[in-house]
Amino acid sequence: MKEENQKTDLSALPKEMPPLLPETGFLRLCQIIGDKKTIPAIIPVSRSSWLSGVREGRFPKSVKLGKRTTAWKVADIRRLIEGEVAK
């Protein structure tokens, strides 16, 4: 079992933007962490690690697009990949 304070290693992230990352807009969680069957991960962490990182401020905050729709700004994900802290 992972410790709660364990840092996620972002050094394995690609240095260039993945080709499927749009220029602007929003990404849903499955587009960020991937789907084992169909969608490749931009950031290879589990759902629980991602949500924990959002709560702790290691990953960008989400944006509510509707009652049951949560997404992340592409610009924030790009900054995360580039190594900047996105809050």
pLDDT digits (tens, 9 = 90+) for 5-40: 556 666 666 555 455 678 899 999 999 999 888 888
Distance CA 52, CA 75 (A): 20
Enumerate long-range contacts of 32-41, CB under 8 Å, 24 or more apart: 32/72, 32/77
41-69 pLDDT, tens digit each:
889 999 999 999 999 999 999 999 999 99
